[in-house]
A and B are shown apart, each in its own frame.
Chain A
Amino acid sequence: MADVWVQEKCYHCGEDCIEETIHFDEKAFCCQGCKTVYEILDANKLGQYYTLENAPGISQKDYSQGQKFAFLDHAEIADKLYDFQDANIKKVSLYIPAIHCSSCIWLLENLQQLQEGICHTSVQFLNKKLSITFNADKLNLRALAELLAGLGYAPEITLAESQNKKASPNRSLAVKIGLAGFCFGNTMLLSLPEYLDTDFSLADDYKSFFAYLNLLLALPVFFYAASDYIISAWKGLRHRFINIDIPIALGIFALFGRSTYEILSASGPGYMDSLCGLVFFLLIGKWYQSKTYQALSYDRDYASYFPVAVSKINDDKEQNIPLKDVQVGDQLIIRNQELIPADAILLKGAANIDYSFVSGEAVPVQKSSGDKLYAGGRQVGSSITVEVSKAVANSYLTELWNQDVFSKDKQVHLSSVVDVVSKYFTIAILCISFLTAVYWLVHDSSMLINTVTAVLIVACPCALALTLPFTFGHSMRALGKRGLYLKNTQAIELLSKISDIIFDKTGTITQSKPQQLKLRGTSLSTQEKELLRSAVQHSTHPLSKIIYQSLPDYLGLNICSFFEEIPGKGIHAIIGEHELYLGSESYLCGQSSGDTSTTRVYLKIDGVLKGYYEFDNLYRPGFSSLMHQLSGMYKRHLLSGDNDREKEKLAPYFEEMHFRQSPLDKLEYLKKLDSEGKTTLMLGDGLNDAGALKQSSIGIAVADNIYHFSPACDAILDAQKLKYLDRFLAFTQSSMRVIRGAFLFSFLYNLLGLSFAVSGMLTPLVAAILMPLSSVTVVGFITLAINVRARKLLPPA
């Protein structure tokens, strides 16, 4: 039978209209919510929203407003969120993860047409931030948040954000670069006569005029722009640790000291242009490295996920209280899609807890009154009342953050390439200066100061110092384009050195959503399928929804004369002359076989047990070939919080497998590997992996949506790109080889410079040519090499 049935797409959000199709204004909408947003925009002459991008809206299907933003009425909480407040004008910046296209920018910047009281709005697209200035007499923060949420742009306001205000953007690096660039340009111009002074002699007053101007221009560079390097070198010395900044600082001091001496004593023109150029190039390298992914958040702990306030029942009245005031024994109301903030006992209501956040497991768990609920679970369905049994910070999940590992910064116990190189480099430079000093002391002591400072100047590892920022910066961008977003550039070196890879199971190597659905038992006739579809369409249970979507749309829908949904058990429906039961084994068969290896939903039609639907985890595409690629090169471990029902299926892929691991077990396992001296890469997705991610040498959070819900980590990997992990790792190793090549390159330049310096022939002209030349060629070499390798080793962007 040919099906000439075209799937309609929602005009607002562009998704397929699956459950229902609403026609309005000759357009199709997938749900009431989408239609409402369209109506609001249309009525306010904001229809241009739909012309900028095709179907730019955010689906309103799963949206429920409820009391979600009621906590914003709390003055104490709201006050912490404002950037600025005057008598009645307030300014607030909100993080809105849904911002994704130019239509979003347009609509959010035209909000004042929609709501009186909004004075000005501006979007920062890359940070996904919206700044709103509004009149507090006409509008309060809660109404504002609800307006945004109603349009599909629900702001994410979390505990972490309300506690510590983000610092204003750091502009000092840009200022330093600008200043150094300005001074560099001008000192170059003022030094030009000196470069050309070989055959004509400049009048003395000009010479000293230019020299003093140079000195003046070099002052801000030395005291302000170069201060980071000097401070870093000083810190290194105090901790008896030789870093790359020590030879740089030595070079800067030598350049400035000798030049100042030459100028003040009128004995020479000095090297101020080289000093300014050096600092300018170094700062550019720093800036290039500091460009990271601003919109991504790598330091989230549980506070970022948990609500800012909860509804507490106080003398039969509902009250919003800040989360920090929640105490053991409090009765809380948890609504649809809200998180349980602390371990609690269910008092009443049909609890249907989605722990996907915690464990990655997508199928919600049903609980009945008296059951224990764990913090981090999300209620799906109607409201429930719970009694808090443990304080927020001491709950099963949140206790993880009380571990030592979270209180200190990650220890990089690898001897990083730079540190090794700079150590030997610095020692070598000091030895050469010393030998030069000895040689000239014996032969011609008037040359002593000249040559020693020249050695320090020329040895200043500018090209060497630029190698790392540029190689890492380029590599980081190449990886970011392909779905692996690193927190900082050190991650590249760590990735190139790992020996063990540890995978979490649910949500990391399995897909979090659409699950494989299999019917075991007798196959259903078209009529039976129709009955089943008619029954499940009334159910709000997630499993029913999955079954509903698996049944084809051409099946008709019949009217149920009776429908009942029993929480925790299943549904009972009468359609025409047929009776249908769908639910757990114990509900349908009276007893349970005890087989909990898979999630099952049993089906009984007219008293005959038809079999059961089995929900199976689906591995991410490309998983098996990825594991094949990784085998032999890395030791592969599996740490799953789940039971071991898939052990045999997974056995070929892993060398070590551990099931039923609690968040703490995972942390301990990583600690053990660490103590064995392994360099570990942990891949996880849920908050239960947070400890392991933190304890590992490098932790990567695998996320379906990189802007949402990723635990603290060193890198975020787009879940679709997990299959390329082997290529990413190979690329980082290749990047390290590029670094070694570039080091060799800059050493050669240094040798060349040293040969000038020790023989006392380093003129300002030679310095002015050699320094930029070496920097530019090394940076050019790196750019070329990394891009070629990225194209060869990485998947297409």
Chain B
Amino acid sequence: MSAIFILIGISLLVALGFLGAFLWATYSGQYDDDYTPSVRILFDEPHSKNNQSNNK
């Protein structure tokens, strides 16, 4: 039955991983602007080939 201790420990670690991911996303500014990215994703890639310089 002590497997439960290990399993709960692991599940908490996984959950903490998600919490960490959420905190990282928040502090990196992902939720500061929740509109513009939804528009940006719809833009086509530029047709011209001469813009390798700005592959960010």
Contact = CB atoms under 8 A, between A and B. Distances in A.
13 contacts: A102-B39, A105-B36, A124-B36, A125-B35, A126-B36, A169-B29, A171-B31, A174-B26, A175-B26, A178-B19, A185-B15, A186-B12, A186-B15
A185 B14 CA distance: 13
Interface in A74-113: 102, 105-106, 109-110, 112-113
A328 to B, nearest CB: 44
A557 interface: no
B30 to A, nearest CB: 10
A182 interface: yes
Contacts of A178: 19, 22-23, 26
A110 B22 CA distance: 30
Contacts of B22: 178, 182
B54 A112 contact: yes
Contacts of A765: none
A524 interface: no
Interface in B30-45: 31-36, 39-40, 42-44
Contacts of A190: 8
Contacts of B23: 175, 178
A209 B48 CA distance: 63
Contact of A105 (B15, B39, B46): B39
A110 B46 contact: yes
A174 B36 CA distance: 19
Nearest to A171: B26
Interface string A100-142: 0010011001101100000010111111000000000000000
Contacts of A169: 29, 32
A102 B42 contact: yes
B51 interface: yes
Interface string A586-619: 0000000000000000000000000000000000
A178 B15 CA distance: 12
Contacts of A186: 12, 15
Interface of A: 45, 48, 52, 102, 105-106, 109-110, 112-113, 120, 122-127, 169, 171, 174-175, 178-179, 182, 185-186, 190, 203, 206, 209, 213
Nearest to B21: A178
Contacts of B1: 203
Interface string B1-26: 10011001000100100110011001
Given A110-B46, A123-B36, A179 B19 contact: yes
A124 B39 contact: no
A109 B56 CA distance: 12
Contacts of B33: 124-127
A122 B54 CA distance: 14
A206 B40 contact: no
B45 to A, nearest CB: 11
A102 B22 CA distance: 28
A589 B22 CA distance: 77
**Chain A interface helix/strand/loop/mixed:** helix
A106 B43 contact: yes
B35 A126 contact: yes
Contacts of B39: 102, 105, 125
Contact of A125 (B27, B36, B48): B36
A52 B39 CA distance: 11
Nearest to A129: B33
B19 A174 contact: no
A120 B56 contact: yes
Contacts of B29: 169
B24 to A, nearest CB: 11
Given A171-B31, A175-B27, 4 more contacts: A109-B40, A113-B46, A124-B36, A209-B8
Contact of B31 (A48, A174, A179): A174
B17 to A, nearest CB: 11
Contact of A206 (B4, B12, B36, B56): B4
B5 A209 contact: yes
Nearest to A99: B36
A216 to B, nearest CB: 9
Query: Nearest 10 pairs between A and B by C-beta?
Result: A125-B36, A124-B33, A102-B39, A182-B19, A178-B22, A169-B32, A126-B35, A174-B26, A125-B35, A171-B26
A110 B45 CA distance: 11
A112 B29 CA distance: 23
B27 A171 contact: yes
A122 B22 CA distance: 23
Given A126-B36, A171-B26, A48 B8 contact: no
A141 to B, nearest CB: 21
B54 to A, nearest CB: 6
Given A106-B43, A178-B19, A178-B22, A213 B35 contact: no
Contact of B32 (A106, A124, A185): A124
B28 to A, nearest CB: 10
A110 B44 CA distance: 12
A668 B39 CA distance: 48
A475 to B, nearest CB: 22
Contacts of A102: 39, 42-43
A109 B39 CA distance: 12
Contacts of A120: 56
Contact of B51 (A105, A113, A185): A113
A110 to B, nearest CB: 7
Contacts of B36: 105, 122-126
Contacts of B56: 120
Nearest to B53: A112
